[in-house]
Structure 1
């Protein structure tokens, strides 16, 4: 639990000095190419280390995300709205921390506001902030939920994540099409009827 709480912050804030250089990252890619059995000096692979390093900068940009900044603006003028707010089918692309291969899917987020609502795009950005890291789906589900709890203080949060993991589809057991579902409910969503309502809205 402490590790999840720590992950709500910017995990790179104290690690910037320890991050390898661009040149070191590219050298590591060349090593992996050679280990895989190819020649990193052949024409088609000459610029691959640079491309991979650039792609990794985008794929793992969540380490530089500031969660507090993402959720810093709450709109209080909502005409007294106190009912459920649901944003569903938020697509994401992440990478398994065990094999560093992708897992992709959709996240569904609902909350009951207490003092206001957050912009809908902020919820999508929150998903990206945690997805664009080396992850497990279970941890990502908890991180999204706990961030909303900490920064918005709602009466309840429900998060469901559905993902297909390439570590199961491309390698190992090779069961393409299988989907993993994780959920986390807090506050009023701990009540069974609220969970049913959430799931009905998501599936409906």
Structure 2
């Protein structure tokens, strides 16, 4: 990301909305936004490192309440929530930090919740696990602070491999509900 260009564009936006970019509270805003966007959109340059695995087997591994923060690609406003990931290993397990990094890789982009859910499931499934399920719950500021102005939450899910079987889905839901 070209931070200098972002700073210039933000300065122009400040002027366009009717503000003075030289005003005390706005002087450093273009730099702050350029710095923030470097972090917020770091998913484009991210490597999830899922190839690092440990020899171990388990019937089901569940990582609950992985926080995510993203930016809606339609309004460029934040949405955030939690993701639950369950997978059935095929002789090797991932460190939990690797699962968090996969979530960050896809959430730190202009995005929609449904795509994050699908991308995370696809990335993990591509590593040769027997199955993966990803469920995300999100709150969307694009809906809360504009438009319909409603506090509704959204849930999305993606199931791959053995999790496409109804009995396995039910076992997963029991495991996740036992907080």
Secondary structure at the aligned position of 1:71 is classed as coil
Q: Does 1:113 align with 2:113?
A: no
CA distance in 2, matches of 1:54, 1:170: 24
What does residue 153 of structure 1 align with? 128
CA distance in 2, matches of 1:159, 1:22: 34
In the TM superposition, 1:46-125 aligns within 5 A as 46-67=27-48, 70-76=49-55, 78=56, 81-125=57-101
> TM-score by structure 1 length?
0.84
What does residue 5 of structure 1 align with? none
CA distance in 1, matches of 2:20, 2:177: 49
What does residue 189 of structure 1 align with? 163
Task: Give the CA deviation at 1:28.
Answer: 0.5
CA distance in 1, matches of 2:10, 2:105: 25
CA distance in 1, matches of 2:150, 2:121: 29
CA distance in 2, matches of 1:24, 1:184: 38
When the two chains are superposed, the root-mean-square deviation of aligned CA atoms in Å is 1.1
Secondary structure at the aligned position of 1:181 is classed as strand
CA distance in 1, matches of 2:163, 2:4: 48
Secondary structure at the aligned position of 1:66 is classed as coil
Task: Give the CA deviation at 1:197.
Answer: 1.3
What does residue 11 of structure 1 align with? none
Task: Give the CA deviation at 1:39.
Answer: 0.8
CA distance in 2, matches of 1:199, 1:105: 18
> TM-score by structure 2 length?
0.96
Unaligned runs of 5+ in 1: 1-18
In the TM superposition, 1:3-42 aligns within 5 A as 19=1, 21-42=2-23
